[in-house]
Amino acid sequence: MRTCWVRPAVGILVVGMTAAAAMAQAPARSATPASGATVNVEADPIRCWWRTSASAVRVGESFSVVLTCAVVENETTTVVPDQSRLEPAAMQLPPFEVIGGSRGPDLHSDQRRFFQYQYTLRLINEELFGKDARIPGLTVNYHLENRVGRGEAVRGRDRTYMLPSESVRVLSLVPTDAADIRDAPSWTFSDIEAQRFRARVFFVAAGVLFVAAALVVLVALLRSVRRYREEGAIGRRLLSDSAVLRGVGRELSTVRRLTGREGWTHDLAARALAALRVAGSIALARPVGQKTAATGVTRHDGQLLMRGGWLRGKRVLVSGSATPDAVARTLAADVPSSGHRQALEELHTALARLTTAQFGRDDTLDAAALGESLTNGFRILRRLKLENLWVAKKVKSMTQLATELGNRAWSR
C-alpha cells in the first residue's frame, strides 16, 4: 500500500523540476541577441528645458528666456533636430512678444551635443495683471541617423519632442508652480565662453608676470654670485661690520690675557695695533680689507684671522688702514657726535702709542701707557658696536637725510 502513493509522488516531482528548468532557460534564450546584431538603447535622444532671467515681471518689462537642448551625438547615432523653428526671427511665444534673440555656440561632450537659444521677451496685456503667464510649450521635430558598418548613414522616421511650458508671474513674487523663490542666473553658453576667454587672458598675463619676476630674481642672484666671486681683498665684504668688531674684541681679549701673564712684547703690541687699525677703519667709515684664507696660509703682520659664515666655517683674513694721521684729519673736520669724537681722540692716542712701540727705536716698552691704550681700545670697541646696531644705523641715516633736506630747503 505504501508503493501505491510513492510512485505518483515521484512522477509529479520529476515533472515539476523539468518544467522549472525549461522556464529558466526560456528567458535566457530570448534575452540573448542574435549573433552579429548591435543593440543601441538611448533613453532620451533629445531633451530641452527653459530658464528665465526673472520669475516675476511687470507689464511691458523685457526679460530673457534661454532655451537649452541636449541631443545624442556619438559614433553610431546622431539626433538631427529641426532648428529652423527655434530661430529668434521665427519663434512665436504668445502671449509674449519676441523682440530679439541670439544663438550661442554649441558645446560637445562624449555622447551629446548642446545648443542654446536666448530670446528677449515682453508682455503687453493688462488682463494678466497679478496672474501667471505661461510660456507655451514647443514641438521640436527630429529624426535619428544611424551609421552602419561601412560608414553610411541611415535616416530614421520623423519624431516629435514636446517641450513643457514655463510660468512667469506678472507683477508678483513668484509663480504658483515655482519650486524656489530665487531667480536662477541667466548664464548662457556665450557668457561661459566669455568667462573662459577672460580666464585664459588672465592666465597668460599671470604667466608673463611670473616669468618677469623669475628673471628679476635670476639677475639678482647672478649679481650676488658675481660680487662674491670678485677678485681682490679691498671692498669685498665677506664678514659684516658687527662680525668684524666681535673678532677685534676677541683679539684684544687675547692680547690682554697674554700681557697679564707675560708682559708687553713687540709681538703683542703689533697684534693690538692690527686690531685697533681694523676698528679704526670702521670708525672712520673706511672699507675693511677682507680676504678668504686658504688652507695652510698664515697671516702677515697687520692681519687678523677671523671665522664667519655658516657655522663659522669660513676663514677670513681682515686688515685695517687706519693710522694716527688719518684719525687726526677726521678730528680736524667737523664731527657732529661728541661721543664719537671722544672715541676718535682715544683711538688716535692708542694708535700713536702702539705704532711707536712697534716701529720705534727704543726697545723699552711703556707697559702702563700700553695698558691704558688697551683699556681705551675696549671702550672704543663698545662704542663702535653700539653705533653699528641696525636701529642706530637707521636713525643715523634718517638724521642725515633730514639734515640734507633741510640744507637744500635753506639754500633755496
Q: With CA atoms as reference, report the closest residue to 167 among 18, 50, 32, 22.
A: 50
User: Cβ contacts of residue 7 below 8 Å, gap of 6+?
Assistant: none
The answer to whether the CB of 121 falls within 8 A of the CB of 88 is: no
38-44 LR contacts (CB < 8 Å, sep 24+): 38/76, 40/76, 40/77, 40/146, 42/72, 42/77, 44/70, 44/72
Predicted confidence (pLDDT) per residue in 88-145, tens digit: 999 989 889 999 999 989 998 888 999 999 999 988 877 888 888 888 888 999 999 9
Name residue, grid cell 534673440: 101
Of the given ranges (26-40, 303-317, 323-337), which has the lowest mean pLDDT?
26-40
Does residue 373 contact residue 345 with C-beta atoms inside 8 Å? no
Higher-pLDDT residue of 210 and 185 is 210
Q: What is the pLDDT of residue 177?
A: 62
DSSP, residue by residue, 3-59: HHHHHHHHHHHHHHHHHHHHHHHHHHHHHSPPTT------S-SEEEEEEES-SEE-T
The model's confidence at residue 333, banded by pLDDT at 50, 70 and 90, is: confident
Question: pLDDT tens across 235-266, in order?
Answer: 457 888 888 999 999 999 999 999 999 899 88
Residue 331 has which C-alpha cell?
Answer: 678730528
- CA dist., res. 64 & res. 57, Å (int): 11
pLDDT at residue 3 tops 70: no
